[in-house]
Every structure is written in C-alpha cells, then in structure tokens.
Amino acid sequence: MAGILCACSAPKQTGPVQAQWGQAVYPGVWKTSVGNPDKLNLLNAVEATPKAEILNTKSQQEFPINPDEIKISLRNGKTVVRLPLDKEEQIFGLGLNFKTVDQRGRILRLHMDHYSNNDNGRTHAPVPFFISSKGYGLLINSARYIDAYVGTGVRVDSKNPPEARDRNTDSNWSANPYSDNLEFVIPEEGVELILFKGDNMLDVVSRFNLYCGSGFIPPKWGLGFWHRTPTRYTDENVAQEAADFANKNFPLDVIGLEPGWHSKAYPCSFDWDPNRFPDPDQFIQKMNEQNIEVNLWCNPYISPESSMYEQILPYCGTHTVWCGVVPDYTLPEARKVFQQHIKKAQLDKGISGYKIDEVDGNDSWLWPDAAEFPSGTEADQMRSIYGNLVMKTVDKEYRDINKRTYGLVRAVNAGGVSFPYVIYNDNYSHRDFITGIINSSFIGVMWTPEVRGSGSGEEWLRRMQTTCFGPLAQLNAWADGTKPWSYPEVYKQCQEVAFLRMQLLPYFYSAFADYYLQGEPPFRAMNLVEGFDGKTQKIKTKLDATENPYETVQIREVKDQYMVGDNLLVAPLFAGEMERSVVLPKGKWYDFYTGELVGENEIIQVKGSLDKIPLFVRDGGIIPMIPAARQTKAWIEGQPLEIRVYGTADGSFTLYDDDGESYNYEKGAYSIKKLNVQKGETSVEDVKSDGGWSYKDISWKFMTPEK
Ligand code: GAL
C-alpha cells in the first residue's frame, strides 16, 4: 500500500492564485508568472529577445484592466485564465484565421496544424496572443495546446449576464447568449503571461512585436517576383524558364526549386539529385549571373538515404515522418549536423534560402503526441515550436555569412516575428488569402498569397494582382507548370501589375523598415488604422440636402481589404466582380492612379476595371516610386525617385534604405530621409546617412488635381 502511495505524484497546487503584475518591464508591457510553468515556452525556445532600446522609447501606460478582474486558477495540472469582456469589445488575433477577423463568440483550440478550412484554432500560426479593441493585448507564453473561449461560456456570477429567455415564446431566444468573459485553459501547472498596452491597437501590436524580437527587413531581391518551377524540372528546364521570363519581359528575382532538387524527397536527403542537377555549383552560378537567386523547397525530416542521416540519427525523436527521422532542433548537436550539411551543400554554393514545408502538421503524418525527443521536450510542445526552431537553425547560418535570407514556411509561433519568412499553404481561396493577410498582422507573423493556376484569365489576373500586393509575390507552379503568360488574354495586365510592384518597392521596403524599427506590421488589418471604426460606418445613400444623406450600417468585420504601410489601402477585386464596396477610415482618401478624391469615413462603391487593382491613398499620403525594372538589381544600382503626393493635407514619409543584402542594418548601417510636404512646399530632411542610399535624384509629383 505504502509503495502505491509513493508512486503517486505530489498533489498538484490547486485553487485561485493572484497574479502579481508589479512594475511594467518596459513601457506598456507587464509580465507575470503563476504556479509552476514548464521550463520551455514559446519565447525562450527560440531565445526571443525584446528590443529594449526601442521599447524604452514608447510612452508610459496605465495597467489597462483592474488586476483583480484577471482571475487565474490552478486546477490539477491545468491553469485557467479569465478576463472580463465589455459588451461592445472585439477580440482579434488568436492564431492565423482565414475566415473570421473578430474572434468574439468563438471557441478555439490553438494547435499547430495545416489549416483545414475551419477557424477552430488549428492553423499554421496558432499564436496565443489576442488584442482587444479596448487597446490592450495578452500573450500566453505557453507551447501547449490552449483552449480559448472567447466570450462564449456564461458564468453564474457574471456581472453582466444575458437575459434568460423562454424559447417557447420568445423569438429573441439565442442558443449562444452573450458572455462577458474570455477564458483560457492551459494544460500546464502554471503559466507566464505578458500584457501589452499602447496608445492604440497598432501600438499594442507594435509593442508585442518588439517584445518578441521585432520584425525583419528582407533582402531587396526578396521583394522582386518569385517563380517556383515544377517538381521534376532539371537544371536545363529551369534555365530555360528563366530565359523565357527574360524574353517575355516579366519580372523575376527568385527561382524556387521544388522537391525534385533533392536526391530523395518526403523524407528529404538535402543532397542534390545527380540526374536533375549534376552540377549545382555551375547551375547556381549561372542563375546568379542573371541576377536570379535560388530558393530550395524542403521538409526537415531526414531521409535514411541522406548523407547526414547517420550523424543526425542520435539526436532525433522516437517517431518518423514518412520514414524520415525528426531531428530534435532544441539540441545544439542536432542543429550543428544540419547546419554543417546545408552550409556545405547549399549555402556555400550560393543558395539564398529555403521554403520550409510540412512543419505545421497534419495529425496523420506528423509525430504523435506520444512521441519522445532526446532533449525531453514533449511532443506537443515540439509541434508548437518546430517551425520556429527550423527557421532559427537556418537563420544562424545566413547570419554567420552576413547574407540576408528570405523564405517561406508553413508554421510560425510567437517568438518567430524576427525570422525572415512568410507563411503559405495549400488552400486556394482568393478571399481567404486576404483575410489571412489581415489576421497575420495581429499576431506577429506574415502570411502571403500566391498564384498557382486559374479557371479563367480574369481569375488569374485578379489573383496576380493580389499576389503583387503581398509580402512575397510568387507564382508557385510546382504542380502544373503555369507561367505568367499561361492566360494570354490578360498577360499585358499581369505584366503591368508585376511592374507596378517593382515601382513601389521603395514604399514596401520602408514599410518593412517600420516592422524592424518599430514593430509595425507592413501588411495590416484595417482595425489597426487610427480612425477606422470596425463596427459602425456611414454609407452615402442620397445626396439630397433636404434629407439626411447618410444611413448608418453595422459592419462586424472587414475581411477583404487591408493596408500596406501607413498610406496605401488595397481593396482587391475577385473574379466575376467588377464592383465592390470599400470602407474608408476617417480623413479624405484618394484614388492611387488618378489622385481624385474618393470619399472620407464612409463606405464607397468602387467600379473596377479589369486591368487595375483598386488602391487608395490617405490625405497627405506620400508614396515614393522608382522606374519600372524587371529585377531589383536596377534598384540597388541607383534609380531616380518619384515622390507622389496625394490630397491636400500636410504629410511626411520616412524613407529608409540600406545595402539591401547584408545584416549590417542591424548594426546601424542604414539611411533615413524624411520627405515632407507642408502647405504645398516640399522638403527632404536627412535623418541618418549611414550607408546604402540608392536614389539618384528626387522629383515630386502632386497627384491630386487642384480644384
Ligand atoms: C506542398 C506545398 C506546395 C508544394 C508541394 C511540393 O506541401 O504546400 O507548395 O511545395 O508541397 O510537393
């Protein structure tokens, strides 16, 4: 009997605990820990380090809620966290969702997985961070699967309980009555919580990103056009494809090779296939001579036929994925074997980066939660952080050679914000792509749409337009070999929008600089725009002055338009639609192409044309542009700058530049000029001139016709 008692674990700590929030660790950032949290968490798994010097320049903030109203209790190895919700409060974030923006009223299990068309928490970035429309955010720094009840469960002791209604007689009865609390169940005996408050929602996101390590600036070539060739293409096929892009005059900076470059794939060898790529050095050199970077697809499960297999085997988990071993990348030994291999076989040859596939999951082929890893990291935790670990492992190699990388990945979690990767997936809903961009901006990850194929030329063009206004403009032809010119009836328009992206690169690049320097996401939700009221907007109905020309409509969420940087509003059109509504935040807004006023603080109906993606600029908005070129090399070599000015308000723009390829910017080697317009007068202010200025001369263009 005594023996049986001894075998039991010590009784778990149980009952309510009061979190001690104490002093802010940085302005507007509070950290607390309750109970006995796991040693490993999302942030320390990748050694995410707060950007203290920037956080410390932020405004001081008051703790946003009454700390007594944050209820935490420990229950038999679990931690339950509860926060109050106001009636009108909206909750954003909680993972990379593709169909919904406001998560109020939803139940989510935050679980790393391939997204399966359902916003249930299983997704490529199940980041346990939310941001409230009340201007604060909370990170649950746990690598476990977390249940989130976002205003769903109604408590007996609710302060603002819903009315109990009689379903027999009351047509307002609801199966989901309103709830005034937000509850999380974390399967851990304690947890670390980090709370953020800012001047507005964008400022909250910015502090969250800075705390997690801050955003990145991609290499300049990474913002050019990308094309991925079919799986079994040979070096000659790829070279021909590159030549076709040149002959057809279509932008191209990066070629992505899909599984066929490996001698074995699924699991992967990370060795070149001797038949398809007999001389990788020569192939890469030939590409580089044409100013084309090469990116390699991979999944990190190592094939028994890989030349690194025997070396990495001792540092792998108990289970395989497609019969390949799963390295425990929390172990320095595992990282070293992998790093040495990719350095010799790929980086030293000039490979510019990777597309890291299959790190998100799918229960039926990934390791089960029963798996064990040599470091003792539990299988569920490993799943939550695996994408982050692989990115970090690769990242180190590029940093060692002081060469920026940019790539794609299918799993990111909190702590991954500083890794230069964008998330993609196999889904192909054009609308979901936009909602993905919007939601990524709340949680410190970046999502990118891509083009693959289409049912019609019109659809192809609409998708191409969106991709050119995303963080990584890519045609992923891995399966069927589509080309930009596969739909000849719209080729000219595809070319135009790809070149428009190339012209806008100074603007995009400065938006990325804000990501690095301020933690502000370059592609972002309308909810993060000051003056955007996500719930109530006015719509113009009649223009008869004797009547109220406005009618108020309620909008719950805006999921089909977004911002690039501070000034540019993107409202994509979808196949079959030549018209759409656009919600304009406060202030006047102007058509990007004509400079004409389109409205202010209202919903407008926009009649589109086939050849243009609707774009709008805020009053006083400044957009720096360069001449259209097929490759970013022209930009690096030096281009004249045209600065477009929209509207009549005063404005200023922080134009950033650096060498475009090294990490020297992290040591301060960059330049910033402030472009100002005041009462119609223009000026250029030197803020910092520490290298990498690629603009020759500057001209101004006032876009808005004087009335
Ligand atoms: C998928 C990936 C595709 C493509 C394919 C190659 O998992 O999402 O973009 O790379 O693998 O087999």
User: What confidence tens digit (pLDDT) does each residue in 39-77 have?
Assistant: 999 999 999 999 999 999 999 999 999 999 999 999 999
Mean pLDDT, rounded, for 545-571: 80
- pLDDT of res. 8: 46
Ligand 1 mean position to 366 CA, how many Å? 15
In sequence order, what are the residues at sequence separation of 6 or more whose Cβ sits closer than 8 angstroms to the Cβ of residue 698?
A: 640, 641, 643, 675, 684
Residue 78, strand partner residues:
75
Helices marked H in 248-308 — which ranges?
280-289
- Whether the predicted pLDDT of 134 surpasses 60: yes
Which residue do the tokens 């806008």 mark? 504
Ligand 1 mean position to 355 CA, how many Å? 9
Residue 77 and residue 187 in contact, taking contact as beta carbons nearer than 8 Å: yes
Question: Which region, left, alpha or beta, applies to residue 322 given φ > 0 means left and ψ of -120 to 50 means alpha?
Answer: left
DSSP 318-386: EEEETTEEEE-TTSHHHHHHHHHHHHHHTGGGT--EEEE-S-S--TTTSPPTT-B-TT--BHHHHHHHH
CB atoms within 10 A of CB 214: 24
Find, among 217, 212, 228, 260, the residue nearest to 54 by Cα: 212
CA distance 155 to 159: 9
- Whether the predicted pLDDT of 502 surpasses 80: yes
Ligand 1 mean position to 409 CA, how many Å? 11
Task: Tell me the per-residue pLDDT of 135-193, one tens digit each, with 9 for 90 and over.
Answer: 999 999 999 999 999 999 999 999 999 999 999 999 989 888 989 999 999 999 999 99
Structure tokens, 221: 């070539």
Which residue pairs from 537-546 have beta carbons closer than 8 angstroms and sit at least 24 positions apart in sequence?
Answer: 537/583, 537/601, 537/602, 537/603, 538/601, 538/602, 538/603, 539/602, 539/603, 540/599, 540/602, 540/603, 540/604
Mutate to test the pocket of ligand 1, among 297, 298, 423 (most ligand atoms within 8 A of CB): 297
Find, among 388, 424, 532, the residue nearest to 92 by Cα: 532
Ligand 1 mean position to 306 CA, how many Å? 20
- Whether the predicted pLDDT of 539 surpasses 70: no
- Whether the predicted pLDDT of 547 surpasses 90: no
Find, among 391, 451, 456, the residue nearest to 419 by Cα: 391
Find, among 501, 520, 504, 503, the residue nearest to 512 by Cα: 520
The helix/strand/coil state of 308 is coil
- What is the reported pTM? 0.96
CA 425 to ligand 1: nearest atom: 8
Mean pLDDT of the residues in the chain: 95
Ligand 1 mean position to 483 CA, how many Å? 17
Cis peptide before 218 (omega within 30 of 0): no
CA distance 289 to 129: 44
In sequence order, what are the residues at sequence separation of 6 or more whose Cβ sits closer than 8 angstroms to the Cβ of residue 240?
A: none
Pocket lining for ligand 1, CB < 6 angstroms:
258-259, 297, 357-358, 426, 476, 478
- pLDDT of res. 544: 52
Mean pLDDT, rounded, for 432-438: 98
- pLDDT of res. 585: 94
Q: Tell me the pLDDT band of 17, cut-offs 50, 70 and 90.
A: very high
Mean pLDDT, rounded, for 666-688: 97
Per-residue HEC secondary structure of 125-174 comes to CCCCEEEECCCEEEEECCCCCEEEEECCCCCCCCCCCCCCCCCCCCCCCC
- pLDDT of res. 6: 41
Mutate to test the pocket of ligand 1, among 299, 426, 427 (most ligand atoms within 8 A of CB): 426
Mean pLDDT, rounded, for 271-279: 98
Structure tokens, 414: 């909190």
Ligand 1 mean position to 658 CA, how many Å? 33
CA 424 to ligand 1: nearest atom: 8
- pLDDT of res. 259: 98
Mean pLDDT, rounded, for 366-386: 98
Ligand 1 mean position to 357 CA, how many Å? 7
Residue 654, strand partner residues:
674
CA 297 to ligand 1: nearest atom: 10
Pairing of strands 293-298, 353-356: parallel
- pLDDT of res. 325: 98
- Whether the predicted pLDDT of 12 surpasses 90: no
- pLDDT of res. 525: 98
Q: How many helices (H) and strands (E) does the chain have?
A: 14, 37
Q: What is the DSSP letter of 618?
A: E
DSSP H or E stretch at residue 622: strand 622-625
Pairing of strands 106-112, 122-123: parallel
The helix/strand/coil state of 645 is strand
The helix/strand/coil state of 5 is helix
Q: Tell me the pLDDT band of 1, cut-offs 50, 70 and 90.
A: very low
CA distance 127 to 142: 10
Task: Tell me the per-residue pLDDT of 213-256, one tens digit each, with 9 for 90 and over.
Answer: 999 999 999 999 999 999 999 999 999 999 999 999 999 999 99
- pLDDT of res. 594: 97
Q: What percent of the chain has pLDDT over 90?
A: 91
Mean pLDDT, rounded, for 674-689: 97
Residue 563, strand partner residues:
524, 569
Mutate to test the pocket of ligand 1, among 229, 478, 480 (most ligand atoms within 8 A of CB): 478
Q: What percent of the chain has pLDDT over 70?
A: 95
Ligand 1 mean position to 626 CA, how many Å? 34
Cα separations in angstroms, 341 against 338, 346, 354, 397: 5, 8, 14, 11
Atom 5 of ligand 1 has which residue's CA nearest to it? 478
CA 355 to ligand 1: nearest atom: 10
CA 265 to ligand 1: nearest atom: 12
CA 266 to ligand 1: nearest atom: 12
Residue 525 and residue 200 in contact, taking contact as beta carbons nearer than 8 Å: no
Mean pLDDT, rounded, for 315-335: 98
Q: Tell me the pLDDT band of 660, cut-offs 50, 70 and 90.
A: very high
Pairing of strands 588-591, 562-564: unpaired
Atom 3 of ligand 1 has which residue's CA nearest to it? 426
Mutate to test the pocket of ligand 1, among 228, 232, 233, 258 (most ligand atoms within 8 A of CB): 258
Residue 585 and residue 530 in contact, taking contact as beta carbons nearer than 8 Å: yes
Atom 9 of ligand 1 has which residue's CA nearest to it? 426
Atom 10 of ligand 1 has which residue's CA nearest to it? 258
Mutate to test the pocket of ligand 1, among 357, 409, 447, 472 (most ligand atoms within 8 A of CB): 357
- Whether the predicted pLDDT of 108 surpasses 60: yes
